[in-house]
Amino acid sequence: MEKIYSETDLNNAIQLLESKQAVEEIKLKEQFHLTYESLKPINIIKNIFSQASKSDDLKENIINNTISLTAGYLSKIAFEKDVKSPLKKLFGSIVMFSVNKIVANNPELIKMLTNGFLQIFNSKKHQ
């Protein structure tokens, strides 16, 4: 800021500072409104879900877990078909959890096998 030597310079400086203050007040109100809106519980929840849906790791983990649980469940159903013995049911549960663990620990292998099966079925449909 330059030195003020006259009353006119003083009035101009006051007007300049008042206009800067008005602009800063508008910016501050806008920022307050944005902050207020972002802190509403519904907006916090929306932001969490939008960030979670953008996460590739989360999507991959959900897919891997779904495949693992499905494979384990299908193996249990296949093993326990019409089984009445509690010992065989227990063994079926052990098989299910084993398959779940194997699939969960080797998702790349399962994806490769799944893609292979899908390619086989797609090639048969096109023939």
With a CB cutoff of 8 Å and minimum separation 6, the contacts of 72 are 96, 97, 98, 99, 100, 103
Q: Which pLDDT value is given to residue 106?
A: 76
Identity (one letter) of the amino acid at 39? Answer: L
Measured distance CA(95)–CA(20) in Å, rounded? 73
- Binned average pLDDT, 10 residues per bin, the chain of 127 residues: 85 94 96 90 82 70 74 72 73 77 75 74 62
Residues 119 and 68 in one domain: yes
Structure tokens at 110: 């399962």
Residues 33 and 87 in one domain: no
Same domain, 34 and 94: no
**Residues 67 and 14 grouped into a single domain:** no
**Do 70 and 105 share a domain, yes or no?**
yes
What's the pLDDT at 32? 94
Q: Are residues 17 and 64 in the same domain?
A: no
pLDDT score, position 116: 76
73 domain-assigned: yes
pLDDT of residue 19: 96
The verdict on residue 49 lying in a domain is no
Residues 61 and 121 in one domain: yes
Shared domain check, 116 and 75 = yes
> Domain total for the chain?
2
What per-residue confidence (pLDDT) applies to 125?
56
Measured distance CA(99)–CA(11) in Å, rounded:
83
Examine the domain organization and report whether 61 and 92 are in the same domain.
yes
Tell me the residue range of the domain where 91 lies.
56-126
Question: What is the pTM assigned to this prediction?
Answer: 0.40
The answer to whether residues 37 and 60 belong to one domain is no
d(CA 19, CA 2): 17
